[in-house]
């Protein structure tokens, strides 16, 4: 796949590198893509830096990993290029989001034509790096309302060395975001169902 990575902080840069290692072509972007030459050189031939709208247009799927305070600006910069694209939301908003929505639902309101899915937001890059590809695989929780987004996110999660675990629809994303019971939960895939049952009860 062609993967656009919006946000070149620690998590975004790490995921971009793993996508390239997995054989995907990666377009990395941030407010200042001209400053990403060192990251592109480190990743190698499968990576290129582009302006935000170009990276979104290039992508079959987008990894969305800016700081929350920059998320609205990043969406505005991407413009219509996110329409119809599966966008994996790796952000963590403050505990209070407008109207009591999850962060994922907030992003859905800001860019309703994108196919949003929550993933890669519960654990920092340091833990992901330590656990990547090791049996039993680390569970990576996925929340979305859309089948295509769930399937695309699940494929990418597997490609990167983790095990996708569906944790519910977009409103359930609050459980995996800041202050939620699944935030900072490092759980093996074999135990993920029991953990989810304890958190979500009859929801799933």
Helix (H, G, I), strand (E, B) or coil at 132: coil
Is residue 13 within 8 A of residue 52, CB to CB? The reply is no
Q: What is the value of pTM for the model shown?
A: 0.94
Distance, CA of 72 to CA of 77 (rounded, Å): 9
Reduced to 3 DSSP states, what percent helix, strand and coil does the chain have, rounded to the nearest 5?
A: 45, 20, 35
What is the pLDDT, as a whole number, of residue 202? 47
Dist CA 22 CA 91 (whole Å):
22
Q: How far apart are CA 14 and CA 61, in angstroms?
A: 16
- Range name among 45-59, 84-98, 140-154 with the lowest pLDDT average: 84-98
pLDDT tens-digit series, residues 28-86: 999 899 999 999 999 999 999 999 999 999 999 999 999 999 999 999 999 999 999 99
Residue 80, pLDDT score? 96
**Mean residue pLDDT across the chain:** 94
Q: Which domains does the chain have, with CATH numbers?
A: 2-203 (3.40.50.720)
For residue 204, is pLDDT > 50?
Answer: no
């Amino acid at each position: 796949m062609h993967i656009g990575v919006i946000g070149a902080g620690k998590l975004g840069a790490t995921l971009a590198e793993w996508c390239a290692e997995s054989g995907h072509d990666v377009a990395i972007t941030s407010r200042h893509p001209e400053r990403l030459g060192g990251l592109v050189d480190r990743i190698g031939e499968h990576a290129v830096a582009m302006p935000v709208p170009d990276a979104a247009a290039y992508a079959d799927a987008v990894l969305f990993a800016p700081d929350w305070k920059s998320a609205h600006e990043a969406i505005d910069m991407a413009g219509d290029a996110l329409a119809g694209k599966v966008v994996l939301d790796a952000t963590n908003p403050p505990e209070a989001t407008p109207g009591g929505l999850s962060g994922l639902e907030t992003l859905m309101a800001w860019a309703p034509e994108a196919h949003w899915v929550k993933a890669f937001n519960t654990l920092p890059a340091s833990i992901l790096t330590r656990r990547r590809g090791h049996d039993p695989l680390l569970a990576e929780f996925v929340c979305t309302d859309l089948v295509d987004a769930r399937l695309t996110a699940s494929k990418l999660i597997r490609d990167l060395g983790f095990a996708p675990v569906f944790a519910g629809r977009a409103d359930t994303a609050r459980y995996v975001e800041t202050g939620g019971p699944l935030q900072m939960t490092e759980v093996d895939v074999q135990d993920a169902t029991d953990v989810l049952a304890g958190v979500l009860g009859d929801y799933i």
